[in-house]
Structure 1
Amino acid sequence: MDFSYSDDHQSVADLAKQVFRDMVSDGEADPALWQTLADAGLLGVALGSDSGGSDLGFIGAGLVLREQGAVLAPVPLLPAMVAALSQQEAGITASVARFVKGESWSVACVDGGLELAGDTVSGELACVPFALGAETVVATAGHQLLQVALAQPGVSLEAQQLTSHLPAARLRFKEAKAQILGTDAAVERLRQRLLVATAMLQLGVVDEALARTAAFTVERSQFGQPLARFQAVAQRAADAYIDVEALRATAESALWRLDAGQDATLEAATALWWAAEAGHRVAHTAQHLHGGIGADIDYPIHRYFLWAKQVEFSLGGAAHTAARIGRDLALHPTIGGRK
């Protein structure tokens, strides 16, 4: 297998890394970050050139999300990128063009509690990241993929805060006007993209958390030698490294399949399972190996713990995902190359 990226994709990753690390410090972002991402072409990296995008596909989006996770940048990249891809496929070019320029964004949700009746939708979506300030929500209602404008009668938003301290909102709909973007295939594409995007974001979070932990245990000494030389510390860090690399392999595999237009039902769910498991184990390892300093909120490692826990449960957690994988394999025994 060749997991290397093209020169264009590597350039995008390098640019995203530079922008994020220049403009974000320990989770605190420069207010100009969002517009800088737009000006650098990073918001539209996965979108078509007819909308002002870079035409670098879902791999490009995944690499930008990985770099976002590494610095814990508090911007609505994940839900906005996934929503924009569905909007592009439905021909809603005006919304996509505004997003690429950094003028507005939409948020994507899946498996929510919405019911469609004609051209109106009712129900509730909870803990929707960055919904406050969003133009529309792209969400599922049974077998339908919908777009609902948030600034209209019949829609109310209640501010919430996620575990990671990022802003979110509870959305309530009562016979709000909705636009149908697609049916089963569009719903499944949105779901798979959300799963894989979440895995790539988590990869950035835990990879950086482990790198910081490795540096800390090399620099910090106890009993006359670096902490990293103690067998228990080294073994725990090694287990965390295995988790990170398992997440990397599964997330990048699913990312490639989606970018190539292939079905990634099993691969996306597997990547999400690893995002939850690796997120849990690596976050706890990083916190543990930092010892008492990890409990000091003036030190940044706790932010990686909070982000990892937020991402872990954002789409249901490991047990929920494993149950879904089992159900999919039982109902569709040919997925994943099974006979």
Structure 2
Amino acid sequence: MDFTPDETQRDVAGLAADVLAREIDFGRPAGPDGYDEQVWRALAKAGLLGLALPPELGGDGLGVAEVAALLTELGRSAAPVPALTLALGLLPLQALGTPDQRAWLLPEIAAGDALVTAAVCEPSPTQVVAEDGRWLLTGVKTNVPFASVATRVLVPAGGGVFLVDPQAEGVTVAGSTLRLDGVAVDEADQLGGGDAVEVSRRFAVAGMLALGDGALAGALALTTRHVAERHQFGRPLATFQAVAQQIADVYIASRTVHLAVQSAVWRLATGRDPQPDLDIAAYWLTREGPPALATCHHLHGGLGVDITYPLHRYYAAIKEVSACLSS
């Protein structure tokens, strides 16, 4: 068992870090779709959004481990982009999509022209009714990232996964909540495979874990730098015992989450049963992530709530993935 990133994964992480360091500007307002399109386009131009596409569709033929490495860097930089489309949309489509679905959507995602998200959280199961050779979906999905601007939403229902157009008749989007009222889908909208629900869920969980792992590490690095540079009574904050103890607690939480996430992603990438490790990693992230971010905010004082300072982005990322992983 060796979780050490291989050369390809290190190259992916390094390239992503370079692009993000060059392109991210936290003073630049989000675009009309709620994210920084300039950063997203730069990632696409660097080939990072197409890592998991097969060569015949212009990709590198890589897998979940490399996508997880990218997501971790996106989390570490608090990148204002729709990062989870890679785990919620691209990976399930690559593994389960029909040839037509893959040929249509995968290159669009890789180019930064399409967002495909997934509705994996729900207060109750979505109902499926067969009618005239198609299916009608009814239910409520919560915590759906970028639902209002997505090209398609992957919706698990009745043992299958369907591509739903958020602009279709019967679909209502309110924030991150997706309501389906007799939404019609047919065979062309269904992903293949009898275990499609479980496969897509595992990709979604692994992606959220990787993003959360990076966000926690990024918040730790930001806070460590702050307490080393900020002075009180003529001394850096980091030299005060109480501050040192608190930042040590955040470090322990970050390293615990990182190890658990690495184990889960490794098992998924190598074809082993990832479920116990996915559950363990989700437990540690949802248990330790929010309190760790609260400590980071506390150590920053008033600076932590300044919208031009990136700490709130880390908090939002941890809050988003923790809410979905807990549901």
- What residue number does 1:34 align with? 40
Distance 1:82 1:293, change over 3 A: closer
**Considering only aligned residues, what root-mean-square deviation do their CA atoms show, in Å?**
2.1
- The one-letter code matched in structure 2 to 1:122 is T
Matching residue's letter, 2:83:
L
Q: Describe the shift of the 1:296–1:150 C-alpha distance in structure 2 as closer, same or farther (beyond 3 A).
A: closer
Residue number among 148, 160, 165 corresponding to 1:149 in the alignment: 165
Q: How far did residue 4 of structure 1 move?
A: 1.8
Alignment of 1:161-200 (within 5 A): 168-178=176-186, 179-182=189-192, 185-200=195-210
Question: Are the aligned partners of 1:46 and 1:59 in contact in 2 as well (CA < 8 Å)?
Answer: no
Query: For residues 174-253 of structure 1, what are the structure 2 equivalents within 5 Å?
Result: 174-178=182-186, 179-182=189-192, 185-253=195-263
Letter in 2 for 1:61: V
Separation in structure 1 between the aligned mates of residue 56 and residue 76 of structure 2, nearest angstrom: 31
> Is 1:77 aligned to 2:100, yes or no?
no
Q: What's the CA shift for 1:27?
A: 7.7
Alpha-carbon separation, structure 1, partners of 2:163 and 2:37: 28
| Larger strand percent | 1
Higher relative contact order by CA 8 Å / sep ≥ 6: 1 or 2?
2
1: CA distance between counterparts of 2:320 and 2:247?
22
The Cα shift of 1:144 comes to 1.8
Q: Which moved more, 1:79-88 or 1:3-12?
A: 79-88
Q: Using the alignment, how far apart are the partners of 2:110 and 2:302 within structure 1?
A: 43
Aligned-partner Cα distance in 2 for 1:139–1:263: 23
Could you tell me the TM-score, scaled by structure 2's length? 0.87
Q: 2-side partners of 1:31 and 1:90: how far apart?
A: 26
Runs of at least 5 residues in structure 1 that lack an aligned partner in the other structure:
161-167, 321-339
Q: Distance in 2 between matches of 1:27 and 1:208?
A: 18
Equivalent residue for 1:96?
Answer: 106
The answer for the alignment partner of 1:115 in structure 2 is 127
Partner residue in 2 for 1:17 = 17
Alignment TM-score, normalising by the size of structure 1: 0.84
Q: Does the aligned pair in 1 maintain the 2:92–2:203 contact within 8 Å?
A: no
Query: CA–CA distance in 2 between the matches of 1:298 and 1:85?
Result: 33
Alpha carbons of structure 1 residues 297 and 40: separation in structure 2 relative to 1, 3 Å: closer
| Alignment correspondent of 1:335 | none
The unaligned stretches of length 5 or more in structure 2 are 31-35
Q: Distance in 2 between matches of 1:299 and 1:98?
A: 32
Whether 2:63 is the aligned partner of 1:53: answer no
Percent identity, aligned pairs only? Answer: 35
